[in-house]
Structure 1
Amino acid sequence: MAGPPDAPLKTSFAPIVDARTRVLLLGTLPGEKSLAAGEYYANPGNAFWWLIGEVLGESDLRSRPYDLRLNTLQSHRLGLWDVIESARRQGSLDTAIREATHRDLAAFASTLPDLRAIAFNGGKAARDGRRQLAGQEGRWALIDLPSSSGAHAAMARADKLARWRQIAAYLQ
């Protein structure tokens, strides 16, 4: 489906992983504030850093400088990336994504020797990611998480956190 002619092409960031990564957490495509800052989950209305900080037992994670946040993720064997490499999108909502170029997630995940689980941050990430991993479901646990986005306000943060906590078992 073609997007509006004025919808700019957005490109995702490089993966935050290493050979010790046990859980790969995938979003869809960085939003406007993240792209402008050059940082994953830069929008303060997004609960990602709070959620993952609570899961990892690092409750002050959001207050740390970005490079230290990434180091903390990696020290806990958690990787971060997106299911979409690039797409046209006006604004930040997943529903506005058009003309998406998807990653080869199965090939990428196969390069991570300690990978145990792939978790999807939100419904679109889960739908797109599961489609890309079709036929590979037995290789890794696939975990659908409620979106950390502030736009997904139908679920309370405490309820989101309860669901997000399930990734901790794969980090041990």
Structure 2
Amino acid sequence: MPILPDLLQANLNIVFCGTAPGTVSAQRGAYYANAGNAFWRTLFEVGLTPHQVSPKDFQGITQYKLGLTDLAKQVYGADSSLKKSDFGPSQLREKILHFNPKILAFTSKRAGQEFLGCKVQCGLQHEKIGNTVLFVLPSPSGLARSHWRIEPWQELAALCR
């Protein structure tokens, strides 16, 4: 049983994919639920949602043509606690081929690297999954605050306009 449910459907602009839910998110049963996580605030700041969505209301995110999933569906915790065997890149690839969003956006370099199997930089990637383009974002986690930059998030939002 997954820690958090996928929020995937046809005709999405962006599917956000993290590595795995953090401990607070797993406890609360909501994506990006830790108060120190900038995910929901950033979606609003870059114009992807018309107001700041609360983590407890994550299931309504599809109304904004946004979806949510994680690369590791059966475990939770900080990235430093995750093992390569926790990730399911082939399962994610199947989901993206099935739902065909415009963009798959990894919400951390670790998620992008685990999926692509190589080092990545933030921004638009060369690889695609079918018609879906791939984008890597700096992590909104409070644990990654020293690497935070909003500019890649702004670039992602501009791709949807």
Would you call these one fold, judging by a TM-score over 0.5? yes
1:54 to 45, 53, 62: 45
Q: Does 2:114 match 1:128?
A: yes
Q: Which has the larger radius of gyration?
A: 1
Tell whether 2:39 aligns with 1:39.
Answer: no
Paired residue for 1:96?
81
- Whether 2:56 is the aligned partner of 1:66: answer yes
5+ residue gaps, structure 1: 1-9
Matched residue count: 152
**Match for residue 86 of structure 1?**
74
Partner of 2:17 in structure 1? 26
Per the TM alignment, residue 161 of structure 1 is displaced from its structure 2 partner at its CA by 1.9
Question: Does 1:169 find its partner at 2:147?
Answer: no
CA distance in 2, matches of 1:35, 1:143: 25
Q: Give TM-score scaled by structure 2 length.
A: 0.80
Question: What's the RMSD between the two structures over aligned residues?
Answer: 2.7
> Cα offset for 1:28?
0.7
Q: CA deviation at 1:13?
A: 1.3
Compute the TM-score of the two structures, normalised by the length of structure 1.
0.75
Deviations 1:32-53 (A, max 9, x none): 1111100001100111111112
CA distance in 2, matches of 1:70, 1:118: 18
Q: State whether residues 14 and 65 of structure 2, in contact with CA within 8 Å, keep that contact through their aligned partners in structure 1.
A: yes
Contact residue 48 and residue 157 of structure 2 kept, 8 A:
no
Cα distance between partner residues in 1 of 2:35 and 2:108: 17
Percent identity among equivalent residues? 26
Cα offsets for 1:81-108 (capped at 9, x unmatched): 1011224x6xx32011134141511210
Structure 2 residue 96 is matched with structure 1 residue 109: yes
SS of the aligned residue for 1:167 comes to helix
